[in-house]
Amino acid sequence: MTFSEFSKQNIVILDGGMGTLLEKRGIKPGEKSEEWNISHPDVIYEIQKSYFDAGSNVVNTNTFGANLFKFEKAELEKIILSAVSLAKRAREDSQSKKEKFIALDIGPTGKLIKPFGDMDFEKAYEIFSETVRIGVKYGVDLITVETMNDSMETRAALLAVKDNSDLPVIVTNAYGTDSKLLSGASPETMAAMLEGMGADFIGANCSLGPKALFPVIESLLENSSVPTVFKPNAGLPEIKSGETVYNVSPEEFARDVVDMVRLGVRVVGGCCGTTPEYIKALSDKLEGLNPKPVSKKNKTVVTSFCKALKLGGKMTLIGESINPTGKKRMRRAVEEGDVDFIVSTAISEEELGADALDINVGVPGIDETAFIEKVVSSVQYSSSLPLCIDTSSAEAMEAALRIYNGKAIINSVNGKPSSMEKIFPLMKKYGGVAIALTLDENGIPETADGRMEIAKKILAEAERYGIDKKDIIFDPLAMTVSADKNSALVTLECIKRIKTELGCHTSLGVSNISFGLPKRDIVNSVFFAMAYQNGLSAAIMNPASAEMMKSYYAASLLLGLDDNSKNYVAAAENMEIGGMSLSVKKEESLSSLTLSESIIKGLSERATEITRELLKTVSAMDIVNSEIIPALDKVGRGFEEGSVYLPGLLLSAETAKSAFSEIKSSVSGSTSKNGVEIVIATVKGDIHDIGKNIVKLLLENYGFEVIDLGKDVAPETIVSEAEKHSADIVGLSALMTTTVPAMEETVKLLKERHPTVKVMVGGAVLNEEYARKIGADAYAKDAMSAVRYAEAFIK
Amino acid sequence: MIKNRNMFLELSPLPVSDIEALRYAGVRGETEEYENLLSLCKAELLPNLRGLVTYRVVDFYADGEFCEIGGIRVKSRSLSKAFFGSKSAIIFVATVGLTADRLVKKYEGISVSRAHMINALATERIESLCDSFADMAQRELFSEYALTKRFSAGYGDLPLEFQRDIFMLLTPEKYIGVTLNDSLLMTPTKSVSALIGIKNK
């Protein structure tokens, strides 16, 4: 019987802890337990046999940390071979009458994936792939990915398993007392993401005792359509008369775990602190208990790294602002690779009430694949909202989905075979919910019947790939009423029929309906409300449009989706009837401030407003010279004298930046650059870059052209970028004594290849003397001194 | 010899000291105009912080020049001096989690003042977590003994490389998700590793 067959009929009993038992048998702290497969094979064999004897159906190989980070390739192969052989021997020798299987055990690498750590996602994927390939070669029945506390690393491991084997896979994560992973994901998020990627069993292990994990397990049972796994610790470790003991007894453990089996858990076992005694108690208690069938949850769920968003009920608003089409400022940001602008747009869409964010960076002439990857990597952690990856390039789509930490909305697929052939395999591999446009090689049918036919065709094809219809959202397409007076009616009919006849959700790019008409917001918002009433589940729209948001809050209220009118009342406080904008409360007392004063006080919004007003009458140059620069100078001097503190300096600098940006968007060409080019970077190996970012902000304020290479930058890259931009100055930052050598190496290489460039350095561990010693031209003790040094180079 | 196995726990946070947080941000005198910024940062950061600690108690021996910590020999006069009289030590790693890193990244390109203040506030939080762990250890684990101040790799002449030994002894990546990179930086960055000496009163 295969493991899959067995698991369909039975409650599966896994094994218990390994580390605890090895410590009892004398393993020393710091010793790699995987090495014991070779140095102490009998101990490992004996422990594994005792688990089979106690009633385990599955025993993990002793390979938790068996990966290329910890072992050389040849050694890794030996360790895994030995681990699999020992588990097999234990299985053969055990007298237990139960079905017995062996799982290749995979734990976390111990490194954190970028951007928060320094490991590339692809590196993690490669590391896991190697372990999987070796394990599969030596013959295991299934694979366990366990104790993962980062959703991104879990993704890398699962992807490696799926790409390198056909075996069933159990994925369990380590949740904290807040029922979240360290990286922020909730169980609901993990269930959606892992199920989408093809995990066969999803659950929780380690970190806490059974009771403390009940909320996690309950949430998994409610949200996952695959069997739930529960492998908790024997409570928490306590010191009792000099001995470490876990505070949950075998009986209590078994009782608590079985309580969850009664609720529907199908796979159980123990983690830290549990022993064969615990598994025996569990096995005894499960005797005669029938497994509860696993029910399919027909929920359409997308997620960010931390949050799950379920479609249905209240309309899902997908912010459309990150899309260069028809948006001059966004187009420029995409062309210039200005990720910061995109991030700030994302944050403001979230604040305005969007539930998800569309990401479209398609502009001719840019490398869309590279740029969408960069944008998704940044936006996915700057906002807590799920992303909707919007591109017509399959390559860009794959790049974005691969590094997306969650279950994304895929925008879009359509009824053309060529589209489905590209998108469905990506969906199957990375998970996701696709927006399916009801068009095909013959175009967009004029009638609702025609669009319904295409929808059915898409569903049938999706099914062939094993994609559930819950993961398809149809976009029945809104065509402008200015060209066809019935077009809105056809779309509305489709929305209704897709919901009732196909049982699927729908989404629309609402604004197309008014193309070519004046005052489009009026038409859009009314159509939006009509579509809402007809059952539209999601809309790609502009959350900054007051008309749309008014319509949204009012329609949600009227459709019975706003309990106690709470959302409407809260939103109404900021609504202006008759006005076109949701007003931001203005502080009247601020209106008398000048631009200069606003900068000194760090009032960004006020400064932007005044700048906009001033630009009507005053030249850009005059604003810069008579308002902004004097204010910056005053604050800068204050900082140097100690009367202004760093946060104050930064607030003023940001305010000046927003004034500059206002000027930049109204005047073409550079108004304020002083001609000095500065390349800055945090050196190789160092991932702290807040200091460098502070310096960058200040330098930009003073008119320097700053090329920011980011953090953890290799010496060669810094040198070649300095050459490429003919930089006058290179600024380097290092926070750790361990990364100063990388700084020294960079300085040396710069001086060798680019002797005219001046190098200034800064960072917590440096001082004047140290800076000279490593060959730098200048030491900047803070951001203002960096500015002062650079000022000497203004031509 | 190791006295006990790896322990891990989650501590509830103590109230934030605004003055400390602002001090980490570089504010020395009048704090009023920065309080608004601080409260915005608190609202975003505090609800998602953790208070994770993993530790174990190890034998400690020092001869003025070298120290032996859980069987690992390291040259450090300053640690010898600071832990004078200690026969055992607590070795621990604590973290407030990844949210601070995420929020600093969120704001790095769009509001450095916010990133800077969140960073400062998170520093106050991790320091406070270490203090509350030390208080707990004194109160609940070693009330019969006197505990020294905490001492980290990189203090005095205790080499930063000792971080590797701490990680080898504690495997915090497994218990609380704290990892060490090749430059000996911990991530989440708001994490602390340290030793506390235990001596007779």
Domain spans of chain A, in order of start: 3-286, 301-572, 588-666, 677-791
Beta strands in A258-347 (DSSP E): 267-268, 301-303, 308-310, 316-319
In this structure, whether the domain defined by B7-200 belongs to CATH 3.40.50.670 is answered with: no
Question: Minimal Cα–Cα distance from B121 to chain A, Å?
Answer: 12
Q: Do domains A3-286 and A301-572 have the same CATH topology?
A: yes
Torsion of CA A640, A641, A642, A643, to 10 degrees: -110
Mean pLDDT of chain B: 93
Kindly report the length of chain B. Answer: 201
pLDDT-derived band at A580 (thresholds 50, 70, 90) equals: very low
State the Cα–Cα distance between residues A721 and A717, nearest whole angstrom.
Answer: 6
B4 touches chain A (CB under 8 A): yes
State the Cα–Cα distance between residues A68 and A72, nearest whole angstrom.
Answer: 6
Would you call B185 and A687 a contact, using CB atoms and an 8 Å cutoff?
yes
User: Which candidate from A116, A176, A602 shows the least CB-CB separation from B188?
Assistant: A116
Cis bond before residue B188 (omega within 30° of 0): yes
For residue range A650-708, list pLDDT tens digits in order.
999 999 988 988 887 776 555 567 889 999 999 998 888 888 999 999 999 898 999 99
User: Which candidate from A383, A685, A689 shows the least CB-CB separation from B183?
Assistant: A685
State the Cα–Cα distance between residues A333 and B190, nearest whole angstrom.
Answer: 32
How many helices, marked H, and strands, marked E, lie in chain B? 7, 9
pLDDT above 70 as % of chain A: 97
Judged by DSSP in three states, A359 sits in strand
State the Cα–Cα distance between residues A428 and A655, nearest whole angstrom.
Answer: 46
Would you call B8 and A382 a contact, using CB atoms and an 8 Å cutoff?
no
Token pair belonging to A641: 């004298």
Question: Minimal Cα–Cα distance from A684 to chain B, Å?
Answer: 9
Mutate which: B3, B4, B5, B41, vs A, most A CBs within 10 A: B5
Would you call A738 and B183 a contact, using CB atoms and an 8 Å cutoff?
yes
Mutate which: A650, A698, A743, vs B, most B CBs within 10 A: A650
Q: What are phi and psi of A224, to 5 degrees?
A: -100, 140
State the Cα–Cα distance between residues A292 and A265, nearest whole angstrom.
Answer: 8
B197 touches chain A (CB under 8 A): no
Residues contacting B100, CB < 8 A, separation 6+: B45, B49, B118, B119, B121, B122, B125, B188, B189, B190
Contact in structure between A461 and A494 (CB atoms under 8 Å): no
In terms of CATH architecture, what is A3-286? Alpha-Beta Barrel (3.20)
Residue (of A151, A134, A45, A63) closest to A103 by Cα position: A63
The pLDDT assigned to A280 comes to: 98
B140 touches chain A (CB under 8 A): no
Q: What are phi and psi of A714, to 5 degrees?
A: -70, 145
Q: Is pLDDT of A587 > 80?
A: no
B73 touches chain A (CB under 8 A): no
For residue range A143-200, list pLDDT tens digits in order.
999 999 999 999 999 999 999 999 999 999 999 999 999 999 999 999 999 999 999 9
Contact in structure between A19 and A274 (CB atoms under 8 Å): no
Domain boundaries, chain B: 7-200
Q: Would you give the distance in Å from CA A159 to the centre of its chain?
A: 16
How many CB atoms neighbour CB A680 within 10 A? Answer: 27
Judged by DSSP in three states, A216 sits in helix
How much is the average pLDDT of A57-85? Answer: 97
Q: What superfamily in CATH does domain A677-791 come from?
A: Cobalamin-binding domain (3.40.50.280)
Mutate which: A23, A32, A34, A149, vs B, most B CBs within 10 A: A149
Question: Minimal Cα–Cα distance from B93 to chain A, Å?
Answer: 14
The pLDDT assigned to A588 comes to: 43
User: Which candidate from A646, A689, A736 shows the least CB-CB separation from B26?
Assistant: A646
Q: Is pLDDT of A374 > 80?
A: yes
Contact in structure between A115 and A78 (CB atoms under 8 Å): no
Would you call A651 and B37 a contact, using CB atoms and an 8 Å cutoff?
yes
Contact in structure between A473 and A538 (CB atoms under 8 Å): yes
pLDDT-derived band at B3 (thresholds 50, 70, 90) equals: low
- The CATH class that applies to domain A301-572 reads alpha beta
Question: Minimal Cα–Cα distance from B112 to chain A, Å?
Answer: 6
Q: What DSSP character marks residue A113?
A: B
pLDDT-derived band at A226 (thresholds 50, 70, 90) equals: very high
Q: Which residues pair with A105 in a beta bridge?
A: A144
Would you call B177 and A177 a contact, using CB atoms and an 8 Å cutoff?
no
State the Cα–Cα distance between residues A335 and A31, nearest whole angstrom.
Answer: 52
Contact in structure between A324 and A360 (CB atoms under 8 Å): yes
How many CB atoms neighbour CB A447 within 10 A? Answer: 12
Please identify which residue in the block is written with the tokens 């022993």.
A275
CATH code, A588-666: 1.10.1240.10
Residues contacting A471, CB < 8 A, separation 6+: A196, A300, A427, A432, A433, A434, A462
Mutate which: A738, A740, A743, A744, vs B, most B CBs within 10 A: A738
Question: Minimal Cα–Cα distance from A71 to chain B, Å?
Answer: 15
Would you call A686 and B104 a contact, using CB atoms and an 8 Å cutoff?
no
The pLDDT assigned to A671 comes to: 57
How many CB atoms neighbour CB A16 within 10 A? Answer: 32
